[in-house]
Structure 1
């Protein structure tokens, strides 16, 4: 199982413009293709490839790149990051189909994590969540409860005051855990949607192996 894109795309924005990030996607995927082919050469035949989620909806990226309201799009997410994620996913999907065609003795399944997570954020209350963007474990309170200077569980002196990035009382109400990763409750939702097969290309069959060590 391969979950790819978040670090490549989100990290690139710290040193590149949107146009530069978009232009770098083909080279990122070329490197990924080399890795896939090496796995195949080593005997790998079952590949479960997860695309990247709506990166612009992570508190870390909103705090850094969303201070200008004009940079925010639907649901208060950073438009540039989601635009890059969508283009990356489009090209990753094409690559997955290319690999499947070239290696017909393999199973290459592309999973649309972006759609699952976007649906969760858009309809968070319907799925039992109360906070779609705010981090459970952090400092600063609403709207994001995120400060890049202190990570979840740390105690630091900030602006002359000792603060601890503590977890919220009930993480099941939150989608985001620490500004970057999802909570267990959110991951449970995501995994349940994956296993319906609706977000897979090709759809799951009874013969399709399942890799349940999910990491999002």
Structure 2
């Protein structure tokens, strides 16, 4: 199982221009393709490949890059980050189609995590959540409850006071756990949508014997 893109893009935004980031995507995917080939040569035949989610909606990126409201999209997320995610995903999907033809005796399944997570963030209240963009375990309070100086679980001196970062009272109300990762409740929603099969290429039914072996 592979989940590709988030760290590659997130780190790049700290040191590269947007155009440089887009130009680096083919290299990222070439390295990924090489890794798939090596695993195939060693006998791997079932590949389940998740694309990357809406990077611009993570509190960590909103705190760093979202201060200019003109750069936010309709959901209050950093537009360029999400645009880069979409472009990487388009190329990743094309690569998966190529791999499906190249390795005819293998199962190569592409899963559209971006659409699943975007739907959750756009319709969070429908699924029982109250906070789509604020971290449950963080520091600083609304609107993001995220501070890069101190992470979930840490104890540090911040602004002259000793602070211990703890989780919120009810994490099931939050989509985001610590500014980067999703809460268990949000991940449960994502998994439930994956298991419908409609976000997979090829459709889930074609790969069901393989996927039933996976445990959530």
In the TM superposition, residue 213 of structure 1 has moved relative to its aligned partner by: 5.3
User: What are the equivalent positions in structure 2 for 1:90-105 lying under 5 Å apart?
Assistant: 90-105=90-105
Report the Cα offset of residue 212 of structure 1: 3.4
Give the CA deviation at 1:59: 0.1
In the alignment, the residues of structure 2 paired with residue 49 and residue 206 of structure 1 have an alpha-carbon distance, to the nearest angstrom, of 15
What's the TM-score, normalizing by structure 1? 0.97
Please name the residue that 1:30 is paired with.
30
RMSD of aligned residue pairs (Cα, Å): 1.0
Tell me what 2:181 maps to: 181
- Equivalent residue, structure 2, for 1:145: 145
CA distance in structure 2 between the partners assigned to 1:213 and 1:162 by the alignment: 41
Q: Describe how 1:136-175 pairs up with structure 2 within 5 A.
A: 136-175=136-175
The secondary structure found in structure 1 opposite 2:70 is: helix
Q: Give the CA deviation at 1:206.
A: 6.1
Show structure 1 runs of 5+ residues with no match. none
Structure 2, unaligned stretches of length 5 or more?
none
Counterpart secondary structure, 2:75: helix
The aligned counterpart of 1:116 is 116
Query: Aligned equivalents of 1:134 and 1:204: distance in 2?
Result: 33
| 1:73 alignment counterpart | 73
Aligned to 1:12: 12
Give the Cα separation in 2 of the matches to 1:86 and 1:189: 21
Name the count of aligned residue pairs.
214
Q: 8 Å contact 2:133–2:175 — kept in the other structure?
A: yes
> What CA deviation, in whole Å up to 9, does each residue of 1:132-178 have, x standing for no partner?
00000001110000000000011111111111111000000000000
Q: Deviations over 1:80-123 (max 9, x none)?
A: 10000000000000000000101110110000000000000000
Higher helix share: 2
Distance 1:16 1:206, change over 3 A: closer
Secondary structure at the residue paired with 1:33? Answer: helix
The 3 A distance-change label for structure 1 pair 55 and 207 is closer
TM-score by length of 2: 0.97
